Structure 1
Amino acid sequence: MKKLWVLGASIIAIIVIVSLITVGMNKKQSNSKHQEREKDTQHSKYITSQTPTLFLHGYAGTLNSEKYMVNQAKKKGATKNVITAIVSNDGQVQLKGKLKKNATNPVVQIVLQNNKQGDYDINAKWFKNVLVKLQSEYKIKKFNFVGHSMGNLSFANYMYLYGDDQSLPQLNKQVNIAGTFNGVLNLNEKVNEISVDKNGKPSRMNQPYQKLLKLKGIYKGKHIEVLNIYSDLQDGTHSDGRVSNSSSKSLKYLLGHSPKSYKESKYEGQKAQHSQLHENSQVANELIEFLWGNKN
């Protein structure tokens, strides 16, 4: 009788142990599948593209001007591969880091050692040098652009000078933040001095705005998508404290109906001050969605 009791207890113990092992394995498999689903969902939020996105700071800007936006893109899983292109005072380009083969949505942070260069044509040539370097090293054919402040005018001059050069990588998408397309307050424009109409045409055209009117023809038929971000402190100046809304919004008239798409996005309040725009989480979220959001 005692032997039968011991045998029964042993059988029950074995059954319990097997049941616990089975439950544990099923739970582990379930958690694994859940993590895989979460991972797939995260990846599906963003496109998978090898087109690099180039960030360019403004006047007196540094790597810090781009760091927050880039880090937000990494944090959200839109990109993992980030390198830096340092442009020397004589326009030589040094790449720090390496773009991995078939990297998803890679980012290139451009740093101009002469960050107070006021000649937009020289800045445009330096930007071209970065593209040529990337083309030589990685055979890139297209690129996206994100610029802040004067970086946008430097890029506009790049497109004016080289936008029709088919031997260079071609622009895919561009994000302009606080663009100085038709002037800078207290430099060549007074507060509330210049206005724009519904088409973005300014009441007065400063240099080099007039020559940039040729951009309409350069952008035409290239299927370029444009996001133009600007801000208003809501203090009566109709500006971000440095650049008037009219100057930023005048990009619309420069491009006309030539881009595949054109969108203006306005931010308001102190967190939208000129230098704070590239530290603004909402701005970062919008540009990440614009550049890499999966519309499917």
Structure 2
Amino acid sequence: MKKRVLMFLEIGLIVLGLTACGTTSRQLTATDLPNASKYEPTLFFHGWGSSYRAEEQMAHALVNAGLTKTIMRATVSKQGKVSLSGQFREGDYHPIVEVDFKDSRQSNPRQWGRWAKATIVKLQQRYHTKKFNAVGHSMGNMAIMYELLDNTPGLPKMQKQVDIAGHFNGILGMNDAPNRMKLYSNGKPKKMQADYKTLLRLRKTYPKNQIAVLNIYGDKNDGSHSDGSVSNASSKSLRYLVSERAKSYQERKIVGPRAQHSKLHDNVQVDRLLIQFLR
């Protein structure tokens, strides 16, 4: 009899323990966070064929610089469903959200824009997010640009936009070649690629005096005036699309071997620019 009683007591304690674990792991929502509207997350968008791992150095650089203590992740499935892991922390108003697109070899930039929008909507639903920052590398920049092109009313407002190695008007070896693309003094390409022509609408719809823009591009200093994958002219063509409506617009060039396209997201100079700009 005593053995039975002890067994039931042990089972009861195990159940209570599991219940307690479930409670502590519950995701915080806006109702759990005082001043929920004050939280302004920074979303990182990786490039084509990549993953959230490409965002890790930049994210941890911001943490080490004291901008935040929170890194969470938004995983976007091939079907566009967003799941969040980690959570905002009370009083840490500038959390980082590493976005991970599972279908990262999708070549349609409009689809990337839909996924970016789905991520923003998810954060709005859970945390009542009203403002956010966005950092893109390579194709991640197109996710940002096409999300802005969608111009859906009622979504959180972007405050700062960082574009790293953006191929706004073409990619070397596909629709561009070293030193071929030319820009007018205002950044307008003398010859526009199809995606760029689509993005031209932003010249009239980009949020007026709302977003501060930092455009970072790499020059390997090998005579190609490119980061090896994207010409500097293609990256700098962003200016014509947004500068007249942006709150501010600045360009920064990274030079040398570490300025190669896929190394820019692991570049300490880029980290410093991000810290300074997002602080």
Aligning the two structures, in what range does the TM-score lie when normalised by the shorter sequence? Answer: 0.7 to 0.9
Identity %: 43
Contact 1:229 1:266 survives alignment (8 Å): yes
Q: State the Cα distance separating 1:96 from its structure 2 match.
A: 0.7
Please point out which of 143, 168, 172 is paired with 1:181: 168
Runs of at least 5 residues in structure 1 that lack an aligned partner in the other structure: 1-48
Are 1:251 and 2:205 matched, yes or no?
A: no
- What is the match of residue 189 of structure 2? 202
State the Cα deviation string for residues 28-57 of structure 1 (Å, max 9, x = none).
xxxxxxxxxxxxxxxxxxxxx621000000
Q: State the Cα distance separating 1:259 from its structure 2 match.
A: 0.5
- What is the match of residue 151 of structure 1? 140
Please point out which of 174, 190, 207 is paired with 2:177: 190
- What is the match of residue 98 of structure 2? 109
- What is the match of residue 212 of structure 1? 199
Contact 1:228 1:265 survives alignment (8 Å): yes
Are 1:128 and 2:117 matched, yes or no?
A: yes
Q: State the Cα distance separating 1:64 from its structure 2 match.
A: 1.6
Look up the SS of the partner of 1:210 in the other structure: helix
Look up the SS of the partner of 2:200 in the other structure: helix
Aligned equivalents of 2:85 and 2:195: distance in 1? 33
Taking the TM superposition and a 5 Å limit, the aligned residue runs for 1:44-193 are 50-162=39-151, 165-193=152-180
Contact 2:149 2:206 survives alignment (8 Å): no
Aligned equivalents of 2:67 and 2:207: distance in 1? 29
- Who wins on radius of gyration, i.e. which is larger? 1
Aligned equivalents of 2:97 and 2:40: distance in 1? 11
Q: What is the root-mean-square deviation in Å for CA atoms of aligned residues? A: 1.1
State the Cα deviation string for residues 33-87 of structure 1 (Å, max 9, x = none).
xxxxxxxxxxxxxxxx621000000101112210000011111111101100000
State TM-score, norm by structure 2.
0.84
Q: State the Cα distance separating 1:220 from its structure 2 match.
A: 4.4
Look up the SS of the partner of 1:289 in the other structure: helix
Aligned equivalents of 2:243 and 2:85: distance in 1? 37
Contact 2:213 2:246 survives alignment (8 Å): yes
Runs of 4 or more above 6 Å deviation: none
Aligned equivalents of 2:62 and 2:237: distance in 1? 28
Q: State the Cα distance separating 1:102 from its structure 2 match.
A: 3.3
State TM-score, norm by structure 1.
0.80
Aligned equivalents of 2:39 and 2:77: distance in 1? 27
Contact 2:73 2:98 survives alignment (8 Å): yes
Look up the SS of the partner of 1:209 in the other structure: helix
State the Cα deviation string for residues 206-232 of structure 1 (Å, max 9, x = none).
011012111122224242100000011
- What is the match of residue 291 of structure 1? 278
Aligned equivalents of 1:61 and 1:88: distance in 2? 14
**Could you tell which deviates more after superposition, 241-250 or 208-217?**
208-217
State the Cα deviation string for residues 118-175 of structure 1 (Å, max 9, x = none).
111111111111111100000000110000001101211111112xx23111111000
Please point out which of 216, 219, 226 is paired with 1:232: 219
Which residue identity is paired with 1:113?
A: K
Aligned equivalents of 2:136 and 2:208: distance in 1? 23
Runs of at least 5 residues in structure 2 that lack an aligned partner in the other structure: 1-37
- What is the match of residue 270 of structure 1? 257
State the Cα deviation string for residues 227-272 of structure 1 (Å, max 9, x = none).
0000111111110000000110000011131101000000111011
Q: State the Cα distance separating 1:101 from its structure 2 match.
A: 2.9
Aligned equivalents of 1:230 and 1:75: distance in 2? 24
Contact 1:81 1:104 survives alignment (8 Å): no
Contact 1:213 1:255 survives alignment (8 Å): no
- What is the match of residue 242 of structure 1? 229
Aligned equivalents of 2:195 and 2:269: distance in 1? 31
